[in-house]
Structure 1
């Protein structure tokens, strides 16, 4: 065999970070050793895996083509090593979640997982749907838990659990006590909503089909809590997942606004790269997701 697993580690770390120095740091290697390993891999097969663009190393066409195979091969090797060492849950697991999922669902799941598997090494990255999808597609995350829908050729989507958005207002808002709010009344309001690219905004836009051109989107914010604070301050109506509003409704700091003619239901999804090797940790996480699907 002309290549080593260490060479694959250097190749993949450089692909993720686009910098040989940072790749070396993550692998506890010197820059010269990492650079030499990568150069040797290219010379052994007389290929160029990266295009040098200033200080950045971008994958060449061949590099992009072989990356999924290298990721899968290295993951399998790490899984085998852990099995030989008698580890129940091998390696680490890089989780990605959109804001509602990450802030209100994933944290207790991580606690549950670590209680069952004390040696598990989990990390969590929280961002909007488009960013999480891009990171999973680029092998920067092992799995994404998202609120939106993605259509990406490198990603596999699994339906996870049901969710629903809720329009809400401050207690003193004119629409707060009404049993039903009409489309005409919705057009008259100022709205504080999530930014484009988020799953919540995607669902909001779909639910408001036919009304969107007439709605006054007053503020777009990236954080759920910021939207809740703005609505509490009387700046307009909001629309977020019911999961994120339960405590505020109990306190009475926010109240639901009933819009039964609009469909705010949605599906929370799991996304995984189609070429991702399902090691023991990922398999156990997927099993845990099934338990949290209700």
Structure 2
């Protein structure tokens, strides 16, 4: 039963007038009459009697007052307790580089919802992220390329580029050769999206790596130490390229890939998740326009 019915009943009982109660509650007089009638029909008793233009509360109505007051008090306590209850959003990402993409969104979300905490978990691959959403461990997931699970939906968050980079000292050691084959190759482990992009650029037989990495942050550190050349998401090395700390192989084409957000089609999202999704959708419209 709607708690509002008891609030209306108490207002009518206190004021002894439905018109005045309607004015105080910002309802129409017929709406108040309808709510009182709904209570009477539910309990099977008359709560008020009208004699001429006067309204009189019945014995059943007087008895209901104490119960209605207890209900309203309990409701207010519950509302107070839950308003202070910390909310949390659980996110799953399929690659460490997605964390960098998320930073501006999370910063803005933190400003809008300071009481909500965010838990971000790095998964081995997109399939693990999708599984986490299906098992309700993650409210939202972020993966490279569109999700494949039928129960999930989502939208493209951004288009990113994979650029081939090298440390200037290593370039100098090899007489500034423009051939990738002349340098030690740092690669990603087989099976992931970045490895597939390597295959597209080099051909399957051209991937003869000296060191393989499972994620891009480790690759970046290795390139910065001069261990070899490799392909990096542009968003992770843009500042390093602008500063000249790393150099790009301009003659090697950049590969493109997408970052998608995913969530369950049939899960009712909390206000916090809905707020974060709204920020992400606005950001996607800006970046993809």
TM-score relative to the length of structure 1: 0.60
Which consecutive unaligned segments of at least 5 residues does structure 1 have?
1-82
The 3 A distance-change label for structure 1 pair 150 and 203 is farther
> CA separation in 2, counterparts of 1:189 and 1:155?
42
Whether 1:153 and 2:141 are equivalent positions in the alignment is: no
> Unaligned 5+ residue runs, structure 2?
1-77
Contact 1:136 1:144 in 2 (8 A): yes
Could you tell me which residue of structure 1 aligns to residue 248 of structure 2?
A: 256
Q: Max radius of gyration: which structure?
A: 2
Pick closer, same or farther for the CA change 1:124–1:114 going to 2, 3 Å.
same
User: Aligned in 2, Cα 1:134/1:188: closer, same or farther, shift over 3 Å?
Assistant: farther
The 5 A counterparts of 1:75-154 are 87=83, 91-97=87-93, 98-102=95-99, 104-130=100-126, 131-154=128-151
Greater fraction of residues in helix? 2
Give the match's secondary structure for 2:281.
helix
Paired residue for 1:165? 162
Aligned equivalents of 2:125, 2:85: Cα separation in 1 = 28
CA distance in 2, matches of 1:159, 1:276: 19
Q: What's the offset of the Cα at 1:126?
A: 2.0
C-alpha displacement at 1:115, in angstroms? 1.0
Change (3 A) 1:160 1:89: farther
Q: Following TM superposition, by how much is the alpha carbon of 1:177 offset from its aligned partner in structure 2, in angstroms?
A: 5.5
Q: What's 1:53 paired with?
A: none
- Deviation track 1:246-291 (CA, whole Å, cap 9, x = no partner) reads 232233221111245x450111111112332222122111111123
Alignment correspondent of 1:70: none
CA distances 1:167-203 after superposition (whole Å, capped 9, x unpaired): 101113168967xx5xxx3345432133345443344
Partner of 1:139: helix, strand, or coil? Answer: coil
Q: Structure 2 length normalisation: TM-score?
A: 0.61
Q: 1:37-59: CA deviations, max 9, x gaps?
A: xxxxxxxxxxxxxxxxxxxxxxx
- Alignment length, in residue pairs? 204
Indicate how the Cα distance of structure 1 residues 204 and 150 shifts in structure 2: closer, same or farther if over 3 A, else same. Answer: farther
